[in-house]
Structure 1
C-alpha cells in the first residue's frame, strides 16, 4: 500500500458514500477528514486550488478530484475485488456515468422537495438551509435541473429499470458488484437514510431495497479519524508522484486542445461545480488531466481530474 489514503468528506454526502462503500468492498484502511458542506473550505482549497466538490482523495501530495477518477485510483491500488470486470468494462463505466449524472439529479430533484429538505436541515442552525441553497446555486449555474414533478416521474422510472436488473441478479450485472452498483446506490441511499420521509417512492420496487441492503452490508473498510491540519501537513511533507507513478497508469499525452504540456491552464466542471483550478499542465492523457500547483501551506501538489466531465483551457499571461 502507498502512503495513507486521506479522504475528505462529510457524513450525508451521497458521492462520499459511494467511495466509503468501495473502501468496504476492497477492505481498505483510510483516514477520515470531515469537511464543510458549503464554503468557506480553506483547507480543501489549499489542496485543490479551486475545486470544492465533495469528496476528495489525498495520497501524500497527490489530490484526486471526482469519484469517477477516485474509483480508478482505488482499482489500481487494490485490483481485487475488481470494480471493472473484464466482460463488463465498457458497459459498467457507461452505466456508472449515467447513474452519477442522470439518476443522481432526478433523485435529488425528488429528495429535496420541501418536506425532504426540511428533514435534512431539521437539526441544523436556522439559516443552514438558506446558506446551503445559495452555495449550491453558484455551483449549478451551468446545470439544467428537473422541476420536482418531472424529477419524481423520472426517478420512479429509473427505480423500476434498476428493479428489472436486480430482480434477476444479486447486483446490477451479476453475482458481484461493479462500479455501476456503487454509482447507482448512493442516490437511493440518500433517499432511504437521509430523507426517510420521502422513501415511500421505494415501496413499489422492493428488490431495489434488497439490493441496497446488500450494498450497505459491504461496510466502509477501516476508518481512522484525522483532521484537515494533519492532511495539510501530510501534503507539505510529501513529494507529488510523477506522471505514470501516481496510481493513474496511463501517461501518454493526448492533445485534443492544442495546449502543450507545461502551459498554464485551468480545469473546471462542465456543468456542476465549474469553479476552476489553475496550474501547470503536466499530464493530459486519454483519461485524466494533472496540474502542478504551489501553495504556501501545502508546497507543491499534483491535482488530478478525469477528462470526461471537465473542461481544459489555457490561461493567458497577464
Structure 2
C-alpha cells in the first residue's frame, strides 16, 4: 500500500466523506491540515491552481475531487467495496445527486444565520467574514438557495433517505457503499458543525441511527504530516506510470497539448499543464513546480471542463 496523504481541514464535509472511506477500508494515512480559505500556497504548489478540499496525494500524483479520490482508494483497497456489484450504477448516481443537490440544500439550510453564527462562535467575526467572502468568490454565478426554501427541500430529502433505511442498515444493503458516504457528509455538517439547527432530524430517527452506524466506521489510522513535508515527498518522487486506458477525445485536443482544467461550477480556479491522459473517466495533467517538482494532477471528467490553454 503506498503512502496516502490527505490534504484537508476538520470542518470540511467533503473531507469527512474521505476520512470515513479511509476508516471503512481500514487504511493508514498522513494528515496535512490546509487553510479553509485562500491563500493556500502549499496546496497550490501541488495542484497548480485547484483549491477545493480535500486533495489526495500519493507521492508525486495529486488527485482532485472526492469522486476520483474514491475511485483511487477503491482500486488500492477493493474491500469493502464502495461500488457493490448489484448496484454499481445506482450507487454512483445516488452519490452524484448527494454531492450536488443534497449537499447544496444542506449547506443553505445549515448556514442560515443561527447555524453560521454557531459555526464561527469560537473563531470570531473576522474569521466568519473571511470564510463568507471566500465562499462567495468560489460560488460566483451559481444559483443560491434561500434558507427557507432549503428547509423544505431538506426535510423532503431526509424523508426519502429514511425510506431507504427501513429494510437494511445501509442505503443499498447490509454494508456501506459510496451512496452512504456521499449522503452522510452534508448531514454530518448539519448535525455536528451546526447543531443549533439540527432539530430538522427529529422527524427521521432512522436517519440518525444510520448516521451513527456510518460514524462508527471511524477514520482509519492517521498520522500528522506538515505541508512542507508533503511537498518534499512530491519533490522526491516520480509520478506513477499511467495505465493504458484508451484516449477518448471529445474536445479535438491532442495529448501533449497545453490545457486548462476548471470546475464547471463551484471553485473556478484553473489548473494548467500538459495533457497526458483523457480516458472515459479522468484527465491527467503534467506540471512542474519549483518546490514540488514534476507532478501529475488528476481530475474526474464529470464536473470539470477541459480547454486548450490558448483558448482559456
Specify every segment of 5 or more residues in structure 1 that has no aligned partner in the other structure, as ranges: 245-249
The whole-number CA distance in structure 1 between the counterparts of 2:269 and 2:133 is: 15
Deviation per residue, 1:57-78 (Å, 9 max, x gap) = 0000000000000000000000
- The match for 1:60 is 59
- The match for 2:218 is 219
- The match for 1:86 is 85
- The match for 1:96 is 95
- The match for 1:292 is 286
Q: After superposition, where does 1:126-275 map in structure 2 within 5 Å?
A: 126-244=125-243, 251-275=245-269
- The match for 2:308 is 314
The whole-number CA distance in structure 2 between the counterparts of 1:317 and 1:112 is: 37
Aligned residues: 312
- The match for 1:303 is 297
How far does residue 271 in structure 1 lie from its aligned partner after superposition?
0.6
The whole-number CA distance in structure 2 between the counterparts of 1:314 and 1:79 is: 35
- SS at 2:296's partner residue? strand
Query: Given the superposition, is the C-alpha separation of residues 281 and 116 from structure 1 closer, same or farther in structure 2, using an over 3 Å criterion?
Result: same
Deviation per residue, 1:72-100 (Å, 9 max, x gap) = 00000000110001111100000000000
Deviation per residue, 1:146-172 (Å, 9 max, x gap) = 111111111110000000001221000
- The match for 2:42 is 43
The whole-number CA distance in structure 1 between the counterparts of 2:198 and 2:111 is: 12
Specify every segment of 5 or more residues in structure 2 that has no aligned partner in the other structure, as ranges: none
| 139-148 or 223-232, larger mean C-alpha shift | 139-148
The whole-number CA distance in structure 1 between the counterparts of 2:310 and 2:34 is: 33
* TM-score with structure 1 setting the length: 0.97
Query: Given the superposition, is the C-alpha separation of residues 159 and 317 from structure 1 closer, same or farther in structure 2, using an over 3 Å criterion?
Result: closer
Deviation per residue, 1:264-303 (Å, 9 max, x gap) = 0000100111111000000000000000000000100000
* TM-score with structure 2 setting the length: 0.98
- SS at 2:6's partner residue? strand
- The match for 1:280 is 274
How far does residue 125 in structure 1 lie from its aligned partner after superposition?
3.3
- SS at 1:282's partner residue? strand
Deviating beyond 4 angstroms after TM superposition, the runs of 4 or more aligned structure 1 residues are none
How far does residue 113 in structure 1 lie from its aligned partner after superposition?
0.2
How far does residue 242 in structure 1 lie from its aligned partner after superposition?
2.1
- SS at 1:127's partner residue? helix
1:107 and 2:110 aligned = no
Deviation per residue, 1:134-192 (Å, 9 max, x gap) = 11111101321211111111111000000000122100011111000000000111111
